[in-house]
Chains A and B, each alone.
Chain A
Amino acid sequence: MRGLLVRDFCILKNQIKWIGAGGLLIVVIQLFSKGTAMMMVSCFVIATAMLTSNTISFDEAEGGFAYLFTLPVTRKGYVSEKYLVGAGMIFSVLFISGICTAVGILIPGSRTASVDVEEMILFLGGCAIMGIFYIALMIPLYLKFGATNGKLILPLVVWGLIFLLIGVVRLNGKYQWNLEASMMKFFRIAGNAGVAAVFAILAIILLTISWLCSRHIMERKEF
């Protein structure tokens, strides 16, 4: 695992120009803007999650998997490392954003000074869940279908999820389950912290399912 982390770190280090530019942009935006900051952070979280899936496409290219698994790397270890790197990078981006926001709040007269702290924390949590959802979806897709096909299959999966949602909404209307009222009631009772906790638990469950799927895919794969 440590060797794989060193390797991914080296690959990312060699892309430092782009990562550094992105990081600098986060810092500047977080310090000197208010409205656009949230949008930018969510974009960076997605970009970071995409970078994780890109490391899989680097591994896959030019017989990379075959080389990697001749080293002291188990398939299970490889899969775990990808999730660890993905989650680690997302939380690093959010941590930097959080620190910048906190610094901005402390600077009197800065645009960030008027940001509501609770709102910001909830937003960063939402971004984390969004990023985790992305890696939970993309890692097994990339491992199963390869980087190129995985990207092509993603819209199908997203449309599948949209149709599933539409189906649930229609069934809700037809059988009068009253889901929206139940949800509103839950949000009222649980409060912001409770809702955040529920989403965090959902994200962990999603990641675990995704990790198990990825592990199963890798263990059956031939190189």
Chain B
Amino acid sequence: MLKIRRVKKRYGTFALECSLEVKKGSITGLVGENGAGKSTLFKMILGLAFPDSGDISLFGKSPEKFGSKDREKIGVVLAGSGMNRYLKAGDMQEMLKAMYSRFDEEYYRGMCGKFCIPLDRPVKDFSTGMKSKMKLVCAVSHGADFLLLDEPTAGLDVVSRRMVQDLLRRYMEEDDARSILISSHIASDLEGLCDDIYVLHEGNIILHESMDTLLTEYGLVKTDPVQYGKVEREYILKIRREAYGYDCLTGQKQFFRENYPELVVEDINLEEVVAMLTGGG
């Protein structure tokens, strides 16, 4: 569905360089701290920014060659972008109806109701959360084959974030051929949703793993300084100094459980993996 090969983009001192793939029927997550380059990557996929080098192919086509018909197959939420503040949700409905041949008015109105978005009030009166929900509703109301969601849960409370996750799960269940690329700086939002995950840090992909593998095979090995000196380093991805010794991130926790029964090996979630890898832990 989407293939990005060695794409490079430089803004002043910031440089983005990455490769990424989203397969048909899968939800791929892109996680990274603020300023890691997630939105820049999304903009290049959409043809809003131009890469300095490398290839991007969506539906087998370069974004610069995208016409209106190609764009109809994509639903987008882009962080930092905004709807015209004078438009009402009802106006958006009319506009989207004129733009998308597969726009589902009934679904749109239903989702607006579900997310408490009034149809008769201009966007300028909406809260940050309402604007985020509105953008998401617009993105999923025309049966897009591919959703590109950049920080779709930004500004949402816990309940709304759960609702968004449920909405996306249902969206995928409706059609096997659909795919989603979703980014967030809140790793926990992606954990229960994605099939595979990319971690972006300072413009580079530092981890690509299937979510199942990450949750079943990655772990945290806790050692004191003496134990640390004896453990096999080959399977340690990152080390963090703690008061008692070291926390070691591994992608082979079973190896440590079998070969070092004296060590404490804990399960780890995506948020902790990201924190360890990006040095935020």
Interface residues of A (CB under 8 A from B): 2-3, 5-7, 10-11, 13-15, 58-59, 61-64, 66-67, 69-74, 77, 222-223
A-side contacts of B87, CB under 8 Å: 7, 10-11, 14
Report 21 cross-chain contacts, Cβ distance below 8 Å, ordered by A residue.
Answer: A6-B94, A6-B95, A6-B97, A11-B91, A61-B82, A61-B84, A62-B82, A62-B85, A64-B83, A64-B84, A66-B48, A66-B80, A66-B81, A67-B81, A67-B82, A70-B48, A70-B74, A72-B100, A73-B71, A222-B48, A223-B48
Distance of A69 Cα from B100 Cα, bound (Å): 14
Number of interface residues of B (CB under 8 A): 35
Contact B46 A69, beta carbon cutoff 8 Å: yes
Contact A66 B95, beta carbon cutoff 8 Å: no
Question: Is there a chain A Cβ closer than 8 Å to B268's Cβ?
Answer: no
**B residues 63-91 with Cβ under 8 Å of A?**
66-69, 71-72, 74, 76, 78, 80-88, 91
- The one of A3, A14, A77 in contact with B86, judged by C-beta atoms closer than 8 angstroms, is A14
Distance of A71 Cα from B75 Cα, bound (Å): 8
Contact A71 B80, beta carbon cutoff 8 Å: no
- Given known contacts A3-B98, A10-B87, is B50 in contact with A222 (CB within 8 Å)? yes
Q: In this complex, what residue of B is CB-closest to A59?
A: B84
Question: Is there a chain A Cβ closer than 8 Å to B47's Cβ?
Answer: yes
Interface residues of B (CB under 8 A from A): 43, 46-50, 66-69, 71-72, 74, 76, 78, 80-88, 91, 94-100, 122, 135, 148
A-side contacts of B96, CB under 8 Å: 3, 71
- Given known contacts A222-B48, A223-B48, is B84 in contact with A6 (CB within 8 Å)? no
The dominant DSSP class at the A interface is helix
Distance of A100 Cα from B98 Cα, bound (Å): 34
Distance of A1 Cα from B255 Cα, bound (Å): 60
Contact B46 A70, beta carbon cutoff 8 Å: yes
Distance of A66 Cα from B96 Cα, bound (Å): 16
- Given known contacts A10-B91, A10-B94, A222-B50, is B81 in contact with A72 (CB within 8 Å)? no
Q: In this complex, what residue of A is CB-closest to B75?
A: A70
- The one of A67, A73, A74 in contact with B78, judged by C-beta atoms closer than 8 angstroms, is A67
- The one of B46, B50, B88 in contact with A14, judged by C-beta atoms closer than 8 angstroms, is B88
B181 to chain A: closest CB distance in Å? 13
B271 to chain A: closest CB distance in Å? 28
A-side contacts of B48, CB under 8 Å: 66, 69-70, 222-223
- The one of B46, B67, B76, B135 in contact with A74, judged by C-beta atoms closer than 8 angstroms, is B67
- The one of A11, A71, A72 in contact with B69, judged by C-beta atoms closer than 8 angstroms, is A72
B168 to chain A: closest CB distance in Å? 17
Contact B80 A3, beta carbon cutoff 8 Å: no
A-side contacts of B71, CB under 8 Å: 70-73
Q: In this complex, what residue of B is CB-closest to A7?
A: B95
Distance of A13 Cα from B74 Cα, bound (Å): 29
Q: In this complex, what residue of A is CB-closest to B100?
A: A72
